[in-house]
Amino acid sequence: MDHSKIISGFSKLNKNQKLGLISRYSENPDQALNDLKSFWHSNADMQKMLDEFSENTLTNYFFPYGVAPNVMINGKVYIVPMVIEESSVIAAASNGAKYWAGKGGFHSEVLSVTKLGQVHFIWKGDFNRLKSLFPELRKLLLARSAPLTANMEKRGGGVLDMELVDKTDVLDNYYQLSVKFDTRDSMGANFINSCLEEYAAGIKSFVNESGLFEGEPLQVIMSILSNYTPECLVKTWVECDVSEFSDIDKSLKAEDFVWKFEKAVQIANVDTHRAATHNKGIFNGIDAVALATGNDFRAIEACGHAWAARTGKYKSLTEVKVENGKFHYSLTLPLAIGTVGGLTSLHPMAKFSLELLGNPQAPELMQIASAVGLANNFGAIKSLTTKGIQIGHMKMHLLNVLNSFNAADYEKLLAVEYFKNHKVSYSGVSGFLASIRNGN
Amino acid sequence: MDHSKIISGFSKLNKNQKLGLISRYSENPDQALNDLKSFWHSNADMQKMLDEFSENTLTNYFFPYGVAPNVMINGKVYIVPMVIEESSVIAAASNGAKYWAGKGGFHSEVLSVTKLGQVHFIWKGDFNRLKSLFPELRKLLLARSAPLTANMEKRGGGVLDMELVDKTDVLDNYYQLSVKFDTRDSMGANFINSCLEEYAAGIKSFVNESGLFEGEPLQVIMSILSNYTPECLVKTWVECDVSEFSDIDKSLKAEDFVWKFEKAVQIANVDTHRAATHNKGIFNGIDAVALATGNDFRAIEACGHAWAARTGKYKSLTEVKVENGKFHYSLTLPLAIGTVGGLTSLHPMAKFSLELLGNPQAPELMQIASAVGLANNFGAIKSLTTKGIQIGHMKMHLLNVLNSFNAADYEKLLAVEYFKNHKVSYSGVSGFLASIRNGN
């Protein structure tokens, strides 16, 4: 296709026109069109709603929807829905969950649920005077947001606090109106942003139009929630006697396993290269739950990783303690997720996911997601420090490798049997299939 | 349902048995079963392959698959596939892309493509002696990995370098074998991990069994790639004369827009709360391309955010320069993505995405994803610094809000018309629908 042309008015085309245009970029446009349409939902109304989640929508991208059973948290057992394209993530979460269910399960505590938004402004005026007038300004601002906050207040949430922050030490003439919110069971982005835009207008008119201030006008640069929510924090942990690890691996004694495990976590605390991968494994589980429940994983990731770097060095999100023969392993991270609003109740599969979890409130979902993250992380470190990550991962990935060689069902059966005792690799699978196909 | 019971042997059940068990967690099991099955692909072979991507798979989670046309990079125009559940991301990318296509488009340069893996070990032996024997050890290690690297070398990649690193300054007796790889067009995780496990076995036998060393044996803690790839870096930028922004917003002169834009980026550099949100908007675009092309977004996120914190403070990934009437805006980040291996060619929609992009090699896909990230970020800052983020976002979100009230098609048409001149909010939409439904 011609890769030089600008297309005008694409968004105005209807879906079939868009599809017709796009399919021409394939070598076989008719086939491409059929393939794209094969991913539509059979119910036209349902498909229309899915299309309306986003823009220029042509079809759906299918992600495997699976579950990790036996996730015990604070004594309650969940079957946790997970959406993830990476093989072995759900298997690892399931194994970790079942392992810990036998030792009291996960323990979890929501430490805080506060969200934050900011109005950023530049001003050369008398900040001390503005600060002294803040009680009055604050009243005006809250009055402006009252129509927006009424519903949230009925649900027990709303604006918790607001303050003016002097940031001129880091940027000339830079100040913030920093606002704390309780958004209850919603992630709250739209609610917070709508309030902040009212506050921005309010603060501008208070300073620029009230006659109280002279000189240069106050300039609002932007008003927006922060995805960094260090005060929306959940802590989840597992614990047992060190001696309980006696059967975790054939080749390792309990105390040797714990020693290696401890070193692995310490390494993730002192080496950024390892820390990023360590934390990535945690988010494998957390994001899979976020996706399954209609939550925004980019917000979760940005927040969690920025938090991992809060001390000035990017580190592990987990912490291990071994004292007096007791093993204690915890994950603490900020997790701003919702169980109402957004797609949580609009997307039929997100809705089902929440039903499967017993329609939890947001704090309970924070606990569930972080428990799955911890299960995945525990599983990863256990594999890494014992038999290595590849044997399990490649076994899970074996069917994908077989599919990439278009293996028939009977070939898959033979391969699964054979690779129980052999190392899985692309060249190994290729060789094995060749041997079957050549009748060897 | 009973939330106290542990399920044994769940993974051994067949898919229908799993579905039967899971659907009982719904208030209406028969309906739930039908709903879950309604998301299956009509082609059973296709569905089987999708199921095999992951474990305990029940059905598919549908994400909207859309496109952003007019993404011009280094003079070439792409229609970029995006998979994202958040409304207004594709619209913002499309608007940003078209805007910049009129000003020369995006410019992009891949600065490096090196990946990294590590064997972490603890050892009380004579490290200087080991270092002096490293040329010999290195040869042994490379010989061990030769069967694994043969194919990659044919494609022009392989092992670039390896070194022993003394990390005892941060953890007692801690050392690394640090290995650099060129994995060509694959993301390379399985390749790197398989090589590293060979190196771990090799270094253990060299130290523990060769008779060259005495005393405590070397203990390998783990062997794994690093998702932190600061040497797999892409830089993408846009530039124009400041005066060209004269028509960007009715209420702002070109130089005033640029001043506000500059402040917005400076704020993201000095305030972590803003930086996380700023970067989140970049990953909205990057992850949407990653998802559409079968790449692993957790790896991308962990890497990008850890890199944003590399100076000891978590900062913006973008940089703005205004000099001599010229505006220059750039995004630089590490981006380890692939166009072969993993799901890239197995998932039919990932395959189509790559075809739509002209089957690019990995470096070209790095450029495409980062250009979309920059387009999204530019769009976000433009909205934030001019009319605010909510008016556009809520307009895009309007159809979701209407769907949440089960609006009929004619009601949607009326609402879209009405909200062209009114602020979109849940209560506003609710009131509007009530007024129609009451015949007002």
Q: How far is CA A2 from CA A27, A72, A361, B190, B357, in A?
A: 13, 55, 51, 36, 11
Residue of B nearest to A80 (CA): B22
Name the helix (H) or strand (E) containing B195. Answer: helix B189-208
In a domain, A400, yes or no: yes
Contact between residue A170 and residue A146 where contact means Cβ atoms under 8 Å apart: no
pLDDT value for B4: 66
Mutation test of the interface with chain B: which of A153, A273, A296, A385, choosing the one with the most B Cβ atoms within 10 A? A273
Question: Phi then psi for B116, rounded to 5 degrees?
Answer: -135, 145
CA A357 to chain CA mean position, Å = 17
Where do the H-state alpha helices sit in A209-334? 254-270, 272-292, 297-308
CATH code for the domain in which residue A89 is found: 3.90.770.10
Q: What pairing do the DSSP bridges indicate for beta strands A107-110 and A233-241?
A: antiparallel
How far is B137 from chain A, CA to nearest CA, in Å? 21
**Model pLDDT for residues A52-105, shown as the tens digit of each residue:** 999 999 999 999 999 999 999 999 999 999 999 999 999 999 999 999 999 999
Same domain? A325 vs A250: yes
User: Would you give the end-to-end CA distance of chain A in angstroms?
Assistant: 45
In a domain, B5, yes or no: no
- Looking at residue B234, its amino acid is V
**Given A36, A221, A305, which is nearest B305 (Cβ)?**
A305
Per-residue tokens: B396: 């895009």
* Whether A51 is catalytic: no
Q: DSSP of B343-358, one letter per residue?
A: TTTTSHHHHHHHHHTT
Domain range for B34: 10-51
pLDDT value for A440: 54
pLDDT value for A4: 66
**Model pLDDT for residues B388-425, shown as the tens digit of each residue:** 887 777 777 888 889 989 999 999 999 989 988 887 88
pLDDT, chain A, mean:
95
Q: What mean pLDDT is predicted for residues A269-284?
A: 98
Cβ distance of B87 and A54 shorter than 8 Å: yes
Question: Phi then psi for A293, rounded to 5 degrees?
Answer: -110, 15
Residue A17 contacts B, CB cutoff 8 Å: no
Name the helix (H) or strand (E) containing A127. Answer: helix A127-132
Indicate yes or no: pTM above 0.90: yes
pLDDT value for A339: 97
Same domain? A213 vs A269: no
Residue of A nearest to B299 (CA): A280
Residue A12 contacts B, CB cutoff 8 Å: no
Q: What mean pLDDT is predicted for residues B126-142?
A: 97
- In whole angstroms, give the CA distance from residue B94 to residue A56: 9
Which chain A residues are within 8 Å of B89, Cβ to Cβ?
54
Cβ distance of A64 and B76 shorter than 8 Å: no
Which chain A residues are within 8 Å of B174, Cβ to Cβ?
263, 267, 270
Same domain? B247 vs B375: yes
Same domain? A250 vs A367: yes
Three-class SS of residue A168? coil
pLDDT reading at A426 higher than 90: no
Same domain? B75 vs B219: no
In a domain, B3, yes or no: no
Q: Which of B86, B136, B209, B256 is catalytic?
A: B86
- In whole angstroms, give the CA distance from residue B120 to residue B117: 10
In a domain, A57, yes or no: no
Q: Which of B197, B296, B364, B382 is catalytic?
A: B296
Same domain? A69 vs A148: no
Name the helix (H) or strand (E) containing B312. Answer: none
Cβ distance of B55 and A66 shorter than 8 Å: yes
In a domain, B1, yes or no: no
Local confidence band at B375 (pLDDT 50, 70, 90 cut-offs): very high
Q: What mean pLDDT is predicted for residues B306-312?
A: 98
pLDDT, chain B, mean:
95
Residue A273 contacts B, CB cutoff 8 Å: yes
* Whether A55 is catalytic: no
* Whether B241 is catalytic: no
Is the alpha carbon torsion for A298, A299, A301, A305 positive or negative?
A: positive
How many domains is chain B partitioned into structurally? 4
Cβ distance of A54 and B36 shorter than 8 Å: no
In a domain, B103, yes or no: yes
Q: Which of 103-132 (A) contact B at CB < 8 A?
A: 116, 118, 120, 122
Same domain? B181 vs B314: no
Q: What mean pLDDT is predicted for residues A172-185?
A: 98
Cβ distance of B60 and A62 shorter than 8 Å: yes
**Model pLDDT for residues A216-264, shown as the tens digit of each residue:** 899 999 999 999 999 999 999 999 999 999 999 888 999 999 999 999 9
Same domain? A373 vs A268: yes
Same domain? B122 vs B211: yes
Same domain? A102 vs A241: yes
**Model pLDDT for residues A132-167, shown as the tens digit of each residue:** 999 999 999 999 999 999 999 999 999 999 999 999
pLDDT value for A216: 84
CATH code for the domain in which residue B156 is found: 3.30.70.420
Same domain? B304 vs B414: no
**Model pLDDT for residues B175-231, shown as the tens digit of each residue:** 999 999 999 999 999 999 999 999 999 999 999 998 999 888 999 999 999 999 999
pLDDT reading at A1 higher than 70: no
Per-residue tokens: B412: 């949607």
Which chain A residues are within 8 Å of B355, Cβ to Cβ?
25-27, 32
In a domain, A128, yes or no: yes
In a domain, B60, yes or no: no
The predicted complex's ipTM stands at 0.94
Give the full edge-to-edge strand order of the sheet including B318-323: B107-113, B232-241, B326-334, B318-323
* Whether B280 is catalytic: yes
**Given B170, B277, B284, which is nearest A225 (Cβ)?**
B277
- Looking at residue A310, its amino acid is R
